Amino acid sequence: MILIREVADAPVITGISKPAGLKKRKWGGDNVEQLYVGIDVSSTKHAAYFMKPDGEKYSSFPMQNDRSGAKMIAEKIVSARTKLGLHDVVIGMEATSVYGDNLVYALREDGNLGQFHRKIYVLNPKQVKNFKKSTRSCPRTTLWTPL
């Protein structure tokens, strides 16, 4: 897997990704309805891509790399989740220096997103690029999708 770190609903502490007593939830399989969110991180702007559980594109849009951009994507995630009737959200973004750190923390701490189960993955961009080279027919935003 090309995962650098997984960010849970708890504060990120070195070596700890889940709070004690958190119920383990089954991920993957046909019985979990998930919205997939891929975020391409850069210094000034991010690009977001929302994908339905069947792999079909729901929406894509740019956003600023600031607090207003983080708030906008959180609102769009809640809106898409509600409109599509999905239970969970899986968010994946490339680790691009420190440019995505504030976004990770904003998405983790957002009160509206906290009302449903979410997973945030930070991916190694070099491994994403190399995987993309090896699978030309696969869109880059689906590289982190659980199997």
The CATH-assigned architecture of domain 3-10+36-142 is 2-Layer Sandwich (3.30)
Q: What would the two tokens of residue 54 be?
A: 């069947």
Residues 59, 118 contacting (CB under 8 angstroms): no
Element (H, E) at 57: strand 57-64
Q: What's this model's pTM, rounded to 2 decimal places?
A: 0.68
Sequence spans of domains, the chain: 3-10+36-142
Strands 88-94 and 117-123 come out as: parallel
Per-residue pLDDT of the chain (147 residues; tens, 9 = 90+): 444 555 544 333 233 344 333 344 444 454 468 999 999 888 889 999 999 998 899 999 999 999 999 999 999 999 999 899 988 899 998 877 788 888 888 888 888 887 778 898 888 888 877 877 876 665 555 544 443
User: Which residues fall within 8 angstroms of residue 42, CB to CB, at 6 or more apart?
Assistant: 65, 96, 99
